[in-house]
Chains A and B, each alone.
Chain A
Amino acid sequence: MREKLRCIIIITNGFATGAWMVWSGGLMEAKPTVALFEKTMLPHLDAAYNLAVWLTRNEHDAEDIVQEAYLRAFRFFDGFRGGDGRSWLLAVVRNTALTWLRREKTAPSVSFDEEMHGQVSQAATVEAKLVGRAKFAVIRNCLDLLPVEFREVVVMREIEEMSYREIAEAASAPIGTVMSRLSRARQSLQDCVAARMKEASK
């Protein structure tokens, strides 16, 4: 009799455990809704696309990269701790773009200074000579020549107008690193632009 009672108690416990697991499983299922994701992330679509184009220098691939980055961001949306969302999204875009660059092997492997002070490409020189479009072409060209880790901080600071802290989050780097990269990038851009303008005015 006592054995039977004990048996019943144990089986009841088993069922209770199962029920608890179903219940807690239901709690765990509370996933972020698509609506919340779209509300926080879609406003930064232009920023995402702009960064992707500047990183890859390819508008067509940038579209694919942004679409893939949004999917990734949705999958890891649990890791988003609230707030503005731009830096968080741009970090995902940046990682997706860097993966793409590594795969395409189009990332500039030539050393920084060599590129900067080397000969100016024929097309750029011709373009630079065109009055009115000269500076547009020079600055774009000089930016394109920057290695990707320098180009991205300039784009984020000057074009996207992000703070050091936001750039650090998006680039997954300490603020000190962001500042020194920004400083070096500006120096190189100034040198590059000066060299091109001199070339063009000949």
Chain B
Amino acid sequence: MTCIPAKSLLESYVDDELDAAQTAHVAEHLATCASCAALHAQLLELRAGIRAHAPYYNAPAGLRERIQVSVRQADRQARRGAPFWRRMAMAAAILLAVSAAWNIALYRSRISSADLIAQDVFSSHVRSLMGANLVDVPSSDQHTVKPWFNGKLDFSPDVRDFAAQGFPLIGGRIDYVGGRAVAALVYQRRKHLINVFTWPSAVPAGRPELDRNGYHVVYWFTNGMSWWAVSDLNAGEMRQFEDLYRQ
């Protein structure tokens, strides 16, 4: 080993940070090189000087006890503090979970507004067939029926006759659906009666059940008006009737 690498390794050698092979090489070099040996001696001298004359400050009496006291106090505070906050957090989490579950259950069991209307439509239809109050204005003339509603409702329903298509208009009346007065138009198809309820409304939420006890409902929305038709007719003919109205 020459001087250059030996010098660069000298401090690591003194600090005992070299592996066995390197240590041996440096030791070998030091035995033959006077200048490196002098540097080595200087380093050892400095170390001896520091170890002999620089004091090692031992911790004063009482410091250990003071540290133990303060650490234990901090530990007690941490233990006293943590469970309270954790308990509050847990309570909040449980409350949240329960309220979320409750709301989901409530939402799922909620009766939609469209369901309520369908319920009213079925009831009105059945009631109209029971008594003598099927029509207040018996007429097959749409130009008689439409003006009859004037002054009775706050809107003017679109009344049409489909006699040519096999759905003759037989009259109209005022009825009560979804919490308001609505126009009810009555059509006939062979021996079957069709009640059509119409009033101005927005599209209601939900998807109602459309078949009940042999009756069938179709509903649609045009120009801000709700149309609900109900009859014991089969679904195909009900759709045909709806199509006539929507044309």
Interface residues of A (CB under 8 A from B): 3-4, 6-7, 10-11, 13-15, 17-18, 21-22, 25, 29, 31, 34, 37-38, 42, 45-46, 48-50, 53-54, 59, 62-63, 66-67, 70-71, 74-75, 135-136, 138-140, 143, 154-155, 157-159, 163-164, 179, 182-183, 186, 189-190, 193
Contacts and interface: CB of A to CB of B under 8 A. Distances in A.
Contact of B51 (A10, A63, A159): A159
A157 B15 contact: yes
Interface string B54-85: 11111110011011101110110011001100
Contacts of B126: none
Contact of A158 (B47, B94, B97): B47
Q: Which residue among B43, B53, B108 has the maximum number of chain A CB atoms within 10 Å of its CB?
A: B53
Given A50-B58, A67-B66, A164-B17, A159 B50 contact: yes
B47 to A, nearest CB: 6
B5 to A, nearest CB: 15
Contact of B105 (A10, A34, A38, A54): A10
- Interface pairs A-B: 9 shortest CB-CB: A18-B94, A7-B105, A14-B97, A49-B59, A10-B101, A14-B101, A136-B53, A53-B57, A3-B109
Contacts of A159: 50-51, 54, 56
Given A11-B102, A136-B52, A155-B54, 13 more contacts: A10-B101, A14-B94, A15-B97, A22-B90, A50-B56, A66-B59, A66-B63, A71-B70, A139-B50, A182-B15, A186-B43, A190-B46, A193-B46
Interface string B95-122: 0011011101100110000000000000
B214 interface: no
Contact of A13 (B11, B52, B67, B101): B101
B71 A70 contact: yes
A14 B55 contact: no
Nearest to B60: A63
A183 B55 contact: no
A193 B49 contact: yes
Nearest to B10: A183
A18 B97 contact: yes
Nearest to B97: A14
B54 A158 contact: yes
A67 B70 contact: yes
A7 B79 CA distance: 38
Interface of B is mostly: helix
Contacts of B56: 46, 50, 159
A185 to B, nearest CB: 10
Interface of A is mostly: helix
Contact of B74 (A38, A75, A164): A75
Interface of B: 11-12, 15, 17, 42-43, 46-47, 49-60, 63-64, 66-68, 70-72, 74-75, 78-79, 82-83, 86, 89-90, 93-94, 97-98, 100-102, 104-105, 108-109
Q: Which residue among A53, A70, A140 has the maximum number of chain B CB atoms within 10 Å of its CB?
A: A70
Contact of B86 (A25, A66, A71): A25
Given A45-B64, A190-B42, A18 B93 contact: yes
A50 B57 contact: yes
B11 A182 contact: yes
A183 B11 contact: yes
B17 A46 contact: no
Contacts of A14: 94, 97-98, 100-101
Nearest to B63: A63
A70 B70 contact: yes
Contacts of B97: 13-15, 17-18
A25 B70 contact: no
B83 to A, nearest CB: 8
Contacts of A6: 105, 108
Nearest to A54: B57
A10 B59 contact: no
Given A42-B64, A71-B70, A74-B74, A143 B50 contact: yes
B12 A179 contact: yes
B50 A45 contact: no
